[in-house]
Amino acid sequence: MSILIGTATRVLVQGATGAQARFDIRYCLDYGTRIVAGVTPGRGGEMVEGVPVFNTVASALAATGADASAVYVPARGVKDAVMEAVEAGIRVLACFAENVPRHDAAAAVAAARSAGAHMAGFNTNGVISPGRCKLGGIGGDRAAQIYAPGRIGVCSRSGGMSAEICWMLSRAGMGASTCVSMGGDPIVGMRMVEVLKLFEADPETDACVIFGEPGGTHEIEVAAALRSGELRKPVVALIAGQFQERYPAGVSFGHFAAVIKGENDSASAKRRILAAAGARVATSLEEIPQLLTT
Amino acid sequence: MKLLEDQAKAWLRARHLPVPDGRAAHTPADAAVAARALGARVAVKALVAAGRRGKAGAVKMADGATAAEAAARELLGVEIAGQRTRRVYVESAVDIAAECYLSFGFGRLAPQIVVSRRGGVDIETVAASDPAAVVAVEVDAMRGLSVWQAAYLWERAGVESKLVPLLASLTARLYAAFRDADALMLELNPLAVTRSGELSIVGTMMEIDGNALFRHPEWQDLNLEEPGPGGRALNERERAVIAADRKFQGGAIRYTELPGDIALFVSGGGAGLLQHDLMLAAGGRPANHSDLSPASIDKPAALFDAIFANPGAKGLLIGMNYLQLLPCTLIIEALLPSIERNGVDPRRFPIVVRLFGPKEDEARRLAATVPGIRYLPHGASLEDGVREIVALVKASPGR
């Protein structure tokens, strides 16, 4: 088992005819992911890397039974793409567009959540269940090298750091059950604590690694769930961005979501609150494998 | 991007929302003309994008043109919240009977609305001293805000019954304005009830979404910019990066200069944050922070140009997380011409490259054509890159 995606997942690609989508589709197919359909309105009947393209999600689903979607539609059109997918019955999505207008992001996330869909992004590089399936470009051309299969659940606010963490795990002889890049935009489809609750229920996940940043309350919600006992599996937390505290509040140095506004928004506060709740706090990548084994 | 009050109110007025008459003035004489046209008593406000202007002395009441002129003379040129007052707003004074508070913004997942029957003061203060007077809820972004939902909010906030329908109707219209403007924040404080029983939007703050400018040609040329850290003005290199970010399609670059000497060309938000932390822990001092999600060569090239033009930088760390979506050659093909353009000698200006992923071998071959670039072996960690550049810059003779 794994969370969100697995060997049975049938993947749809929205915006399949764009350059990034083509690049990723090739690597996903090589990885063994079952990409069954693409959608680009107006391009129905074409093929991308041997995958049939449809005009609408509804027709793609009727023909292929896809159940997860990799959404490459750019920021300006992505709200409609998400709504179309969840209305058609898609229940797992990865949305790669970044800098999505905030009102569009809120509407798309509301649509996904009210349908009970799990959505990574906006500004995710995907979800991977090593050796089984990957949704999106995550891992690039060396997904097998970076993401080894194993029993650690990884949830990261940064797509790049999901790769660094999993690569560190694989070099230490460990691996991931599933790695979820949540997305770096201010509004994303899943809360970090929701992802960790999926790992909690997954019999093939023994422990979790989270990567957090300043800004927002994802990490604070995880700490609350650790305290309440809703999360019982060990959590190793790497929270970057402590340097921001040297500069005035309200300045963003990374992801737009990583802006310090409130007193619990800083990296230091999050490290402290997570540690007090029982999480093992790492300050560098190199410490993660050893914190998982102690 | 924060709008100034005249810009925000012009937008609200165009939607027939109840905003007092007013006009902007660049000189005391203009302010006198404006006051004469408005008649009777006016408020003269410094036009800076900041809250709490009343407390900061940036709002002055004036009876007649002469008093308005004097008030403008006092305010123009004055620095408020780190911003110089370049113009004032002259507005008909409102005969206020009661003040409410209303704002729209975003919570963790959805738009959020906050109402209070106690306006005209900081909402944080009210929330601390009289929590029952403040009601905050999330709005369903798909459905929007209905009049009856708004009525329930004001009722819970404890306003008197006869005001509920008035406030509810205006609140629903303002939510639509907030959404249609692609605003990130719209605050109406005070939202006044006049002695004749009407509502008037007296104080307004509005921040619009830079990511939605493509559907707002009206704000394309406002030339709004965020201040740098500590409210300082942006320097020419930071402006150049913003200009390049807007000019070229796809991806994103950000660049903020800091007082240290090691330039950071770091990607992927999170990996950049981590390397900055690690650098401080290793005793290095970053000359800037940057963030990059490249799509084409133009944006990384503009970021390299800014980094090399910074006189404070003595070395550079190119610390990319393992590339998953793009070839490594994209970064090196942006780097080499920028080294050439800016006359940089990597033997005197250390450059450490930690860059793995697609087309890595080709990127290594390209980088090897310029003497002095230190391209770390495959498998080196982010920590290794930081340690290396800190050591090299310490030992470097300087550019």
Would you name the residues of A annotated as active-site residues?
Answer: 255
A211 touches B at CB < 8 Å: yes
Q: Which of B141, B211, B322 sits opposite A146 (nearest CB)?
A: B322
Find the closest chain B residue to A287 by CA distance.
B383
Please say if the pLDDT value at position A149 is more than 70: yes
Q: Is B225 on the interface with A (CB under 8 A)?
A: no
Query: Is A42 at the interface with chain B, CB within 8 A?
Result: no
In a domain, B158, yes or no: yes
Residue B184 near residue B106 (C-beta atoms within 8 A): yes
**The two structure tokens encoding residue B54:** 């009343």
DSSP one-letter code for B349: S
The partner residue sitting opposite A285, judged by closest CB among B179, B209, B382, is: B382
- How many other CB atoms are there within 10 angstroms of residue A250's CB atom? 12
Cβ contact A161–B321 (<8 Å):
yes
3-state SS assignment for residue B380: coil
Tell me which of B169, B198, B219 is where a domain ends. B219
CATH assignment at residue B353: 3.40.50.261
Distance CA B251, CA A98 (A): 8
Ordered DSSP codes for B146-203: -HHHHHHHHHHTT--GGGHHHHHHHHHHHHHHHHHTTEEEEEEEEEEEETTS-EEE--
Residues B203, B329, single domain; the answer is no
Same domain, residue pair B134 and B176: yes
Residues in chain A: 294
Instruction: Give strand pairing partners of B353.
Output: B318, B375
Confidence of residue A257 (pLDDT cuts 50, 70, 90): low
* Last residue within a domain, chosen from B38, B68, B92: B92
**Minimum distance, in Å, between the CA of residue B238 and any CA atom of chain A:** 13
- 3-state secondary structure at position B253: strand
- Asked if B357 lies within 8 A of A161 by C-beta distance, the reply is no
Residues B389 and B262 in one domain: yes
B130 plus B148 within the same structural domain:
yes
DSSP string, A15-82: TTTSHHHHHHHHHHHHHT--EEEEE-TT-TT-EETTEEEESSHHHHHHHH---EEEE---GGGHHHHH
Residue A252: pLDDT band with limits 50, 70, 90: low
Residue of A nearest to B321 (CA): A160
Q: Is B9 domain-assigned?
A: no
Q: Are residues B174 and B126 in the same domain?
A: yes
- Which of B50, B77, B92 is the C-terminal boundary of a domain? B92
Report the domain count for chain B.
Answer: 3
- pLDDT category at A7 given cuts 50, 70, 90 is very high
pLDDT for res B228: 59
Whether residue B207 is found in the same domain as residue B243: no
Cβ A10 vs Cβ A68: under 8 Å: yes
Here the CATH number for the domain that contains residue B78 is: 3.30.1490.20
Question: Residue B5 falls within a domain, yes or no?
Answer: no
CATH annotation of A11-293 = 3.40.50.261
The answer on B369 and B311 residing in a single domain is yes
Beta pairing class for B351-354 and B373-375: parallel
Which of B179, B324, B382 to mutate: most A Cβ within 10 Å?
B324
Residues B108 and B213 in one domain: yes
Question: What are the domain boundaries of chain A?
Answer: 11-293
How many Cβ atoms from other residues are within 10 Å of residue B131's Cβ? 9
* Within-domain flag for B160: yes
The verdict on B148 and B261 lying in the same domain is no
The whole-number average pLDDT for the span B287-312 is: 92
B379 shares a domain with B297: yes
Alpha carbon distance B263, B205 (integer Å): 36
What pTM did the predictor assign? 0.91
CATH number (domain holding residue B210): 3.30.470.20
Say whether B320 and A283 touch across the interface (CB within 8 A).
Answer: no
> What is the distance between the alpha carbons of residues A44 and A52, in angstroms, rounded to a whole number?
8
Whether the predicted pLDDT of B88 surpasses 70? yes
Query: Shortest CB distance from B277 goes to which of A110, A211, A240?
Result: A240
Q: What is the largest CA-CA distance in chain B?
A: 79
Instruction: Assess if residue B4 is contained within a domain.
Output: no
Q: Could you tell me the residue range of the domain that residue B40 belongs to?
A: 21-92
- Helix, strand or coil, per DSSP, at residue B47: coil
Same domain, B164 and B265: no
Of residues B268 and A88, more confidently modeled: A88
Q: Residue B223 — pLDDT band, cuts 50, 70, 90?
A: low
Question: What tens digit of pLDDT does each residue of A49-86 get?
Answer: 999 999 999 999 999 999 999 999 999 999 999 999 99
Task: Starting at the earlier edge strand, list the strands of the sheet with A207-212.
Answer: A133-135, A127-129, A176-181, A149-156, A207-212, A235-239, A280-282
Contact at CB, B293 and A98, closer than 8 angstroms: yes
